[in-house]
Structures are given as C-alpha cells and as structure tokens.
Amino acid sequence: MSTAPLKLVFSFTDCALKERLSARLCSAYGRWLGGFRTLELRSGKKREGFEIEALGGERTVLASRAIVSRVSFNKYALNLAALEGTALPALEKAAAAGKVLFLDELGPMAMKSERFSARAVELLFSASPCLAFYRRGSEVFEDAFSKMSDTVIIELTEAGWAEAVAAAEAWLDRLAGEMELNKK
C-alpha cells in the first residue's frame, strides 16, 4: 500500500507557470490522468478568456468577452456548459476508470456552477487520488485544502519550479507504479 498522499495540490498566481506544469504532467503521465485543464485564450499578448479541455477530448470556451451569458466573472461572460458538459464528464469518466483525477483549475469561475462545484468537492473528498490546481487567494479552496487529510499543498513559483516538478513527478511515479501493479 502507498504512503503517498492521496491529494497533491498546487496553489499559484502565475497562469503561464501553472499551464507549463500542467502541460508537462499531462504529456508525461496522460495515460494515468483523467479530468480537465483550463487554458488561457490569447490574442497576441492580450488575454481574451479561458478554455476548458477534457484530457484526451474536446476543448470549449469557458469564459470570454465575445460570448453572451447571464453568468459572468470580472470582465468575462461564463459558459457554464464548459464546466458541466466538458469538465464534469471528464472527471466522472476518470473516476470510473480509476485514474488520477486532474483538476486544472479550481477557482472563482468554477464556483459559479453549483453542479460542477458540488461534484468536484465530492470527488476531492473521495478515495480517488487527485492532482489539483487552485489560484492562491481563493479562500474557499485554501481553507478546504488546508483541512483535508492526506493532502500535500505546494506553492507553485518560478523560484520553486524544480522542487514542484520533482514532487509532482515522484508522486505520479508512485501512483502510476501502483496502478500498473493493480492491473496484474
């Protein structure tokens, strides 16, 4: 049985750094991961919004100035169907397949969908291993993660990049090894 914590959580403020780590982990460990990524939509240097990408699946706009919605966050209209129709089914599929749940990212936009938020919380408190990213300053998530047992929280910074990568890779290597042994 593993001594690795079941939940590995990264807090971040730098979206580009978070996307770099997320892409690296999905590329190297995609076989064992299931869930979703949140990606910035950019036009040159200007951020236009965000997309949700199911790992190994579809990509859809989550937030944009170019869409119309009754739900908004800051300057963006939100497409809750991206959370409920893309991210949530990807998490459900991953949980059913026994994969490591990959939640990139949890933040104020995700909380706008009660359906998504409620299920994400259930999955985070389940026995499934989870790798999650949340924006530092999201008090609800900071508080919840700090109270979860069997959880390691790592602050993702440029200065701590090498340590964050090493910790994530060691954690995923242990889990991937266990998953392979359980198949035999």
Measured from the Cβ of residue 141, the count of other Cβ atoms closer than 10 Å reads 25
Separation of alpha carbons 7 and 42, rounded Å:
31
Interval 11-49: pLDDT, tens: 999 999 999 999 999 999 999 999 999 999 998 989 999
The residue to which tokens 């998490």 are assigned: 91
Neighbours of 113 (CB within 10 A): 20
Mean local confidence (pLDDT), 127-138: 92
More confident residue, 2 or 53: 53
Over pLDDT 90: what percentage of the chain? Answer: 80
CA–CA–CA angle 99, 27, 95 (5° rounding): 15
Place of tokens 């933040």: 107
Task: State the pLDDT at residue 2.
Answer: 52
Model pTM score: 0.93
Pick the CATH number of 7-183 from 3.40.50.300, 3.30.465.10, 2.60.40.10, 3.30.56.10: 3.40.50.300
Helix (H, G, I), strand (E, B), or coil: what is residue 77?
Answer: strand
* Per-residue confidence (pLDDT) for residue 3, from 0 to 100: 62
pLDDT digits over 148-183, tens only? 889 999 999 999 999 999 999 999 999 999 888 777
> Which pLDDT score, from 0 to 100, does residue 184 have?
62
Determine the average pLDDT of the residues in 99-118. 94
pLDDT at residue 1 tops 60:
no
User: 37 to each of 2, 3, 82, 147, 180, how far by Cα in Å?
Assistant: 26, 27, 11, 24, 24
- More confident: 43 or 62: 62
